[in-house]
Amino acid sequence: MSDFPAGSERKRRGEGHGHGRGEEYAPLRGEPLPGDHEEGQHLLGEGAATGTHYSYEEEDGHGRESEYLDASSKEAFGVKPQVINLGNTIVGAGLMALPKVVQTLGIVTGVISLFVVLMCTIKTLNYMLVESTRCRSTDFAAVVRQRLGTKAAHVLDFSIVVNNVGLLIIYLRIIGDVLVGNAEYKGIITDFMSDKSLLAQPYFSVGIITFGVLLPLCSLEKMDALAAASASGLALALLFSLITIILSLVEISHDGLKDVSFGPNPLYFHGGFVQDLLVIVGVFPVIFTSLVCHYNLLHVKEDLPRRFYHKMPEIVKVSGCSCVGLYCVVASFGYILFKDDVQGDVLLNFGCDALERLVGSKMCIVIAVAVRSMYALVLSMTFPLIHFALRQTESTILLPRPEERNKPVNRWGLTLLNLVVSFVVAMEVPNIWTPLQITGAVAAGIIGFIIPSLLHLNVPEQEKSTWGTVQAYLLLSLGVLVGVVTIYQLCTGNLS
């Protein structure tokens, strides 16, 4: 069932002048469709409790929805570009930190945690799709403003800025680790050149990538223009996972599963109940950050033809399940490969010190360079998608008039400002683990759990169900709990 009304106001006046079904009404982003009330259409809560889909009909009982769907169903339409864009938004820096999560929780517990958070994420994404349909808007902030008020919209805008700037900083930090390494590990450049050479300086090498490659990609006006880059990024991520699996199988053939924890790792779980609980809660922000894509969900919907909005739940499920499958493989095999030596950024482990005994001195150099280069490219393809949502949010805050937002000079100016700030901070951040925890707990928790749950709890009383309300309260509590615990650990200096 489509999730938009099919009233007569949806079609432009002048229908029939060379258009079989008439052109679709195309309002500005965030503008409600006209005629929603005048035509006497009613929103039927079919799936209001499940957060999946809605149907519409008119008071006179002669709705035109089925006629519209029958006509549009004759057209073949694939959702692959949208699946790829949403999937590439999900796959990013979090993938590099998940082996550390599995090392902490153990393989079985870690995989279960990933799937639990996935189910929660899909539920909250569906909450957003339902409210987007109700508000006739593909602007996340506009939906929140209409349903929860202006203050909640400001909180959302702030959270998106914090979350996405944090992610951009983490991405550039990883790219820096890949190219020049850090105090403990060498990068691709420093493996072959002197530490004092110009290319071995992070500001120079990462600066070339940031302003020579990422700046033009980030300045594109529409997200669907990044579909080809997104496909390349996902393909490289799959190749990275394949290499990790092969190396892990070689490791298993040498030492078996010795020193691998399938349950909570004794290295971290040796205190009392409260301390162990804090350790568990402390890794959930990283999983949150690895799965949150809410800030781009409605942009993906916006890029769909309006008559195919009903495909969004399918896009969410395919993207989410595919990414978590990839996460489970890389996290589990990455932990098996490096065991308790795994770093918060697993790319740092892909050096000859760890790989030489498995593949030899020459092959380890090839693999180390290939793996690090591939994931640097993956992040470079994901980076513009994260930045797109950031720039959209900043444009809404700083440029209230739509015609100002569309000016190339404003688009390029915001893009350049974002990249300069992210670049300078990234060069001073020592590692990615702590920023991932803070970003995931505060910003990703608000964006991915708290606000979508509040949206669902704010639906009309006649559309609520007891179980649906309980689920929303549980998701809300999870977001609040993880945020509070992480801030507490940060303030007390116990954030690992």
Span 141-198, pLDDT tens digits: 889 999 999 999 999 888 888 888 888 998 898 888 888 877 677 778 877 777 778 8
Look over the chain and give the mean of its residue pLDDT values, rounded to a whole number: 77
Average pLDDT, integer, range 5-28:
38
Span 417-451, pLDDT tens digits: 999 999 999 888 877 777 777 777 777 788 889 99
- Token digits for 123? 């539920």
State the CATH architecture for 80-492.
Up-down Bundle (1.20)
Closest by alpha carbon to 97, among 369, 381, 364, 289?
289
Span 285-314, pLDDT tens digits: 888 888 888 877 888 888 788 878 888 898
Q: Scan for tokens 């901070």, then name that residue.
A: 425
**Structure confidence at residue 378 (pLDDT):** 78
**Between residues 66 and 81, the one the model is more confident about:** 81
Closest by alpha carbon to 171, among 13, 362, 387?
387
**Between residues 93 and 282, the one the model is more confident about:** 282
- The domain segmentation of the chain, as residue ranges, is 1-76, 80-492
The answer for 19, left when phi > 0, alpha when psi is -120 to 50, beta otherwise, is beta
CB count in 10 Å sphere of residue 146:
18
**Structure confidence at residue 66 (pLDDT):** 36
Between the alpha carbon of residue 132 and those of residues 87, 309, 376, 462, the distances in Å are 20, 10, 35, 19
Q: What are phi and psi of 187, to 5 degrees?
A: -100, -175
Q: What are phi and psi of 43, to 5 degrees?
A: -90, 115
Q: How far is CA 209 from the centre of its chain?
A: 22
The answer for 27, left when phi > 0, alpha when psi is -120 to 50, beta otherwise, is beta
CB-count exposure of residue 385 (10 Å: 0-12, 13-18, 19+): buried
Buried b (16+ CB within 10 A) or exposed e, 36-52: beebebebebebbbbbb
Average pLDDT, integer, range 372-386:
81
**Structure confidence at residue 278 (pLDDT):** 80
- Token digits for 180? 């020049």
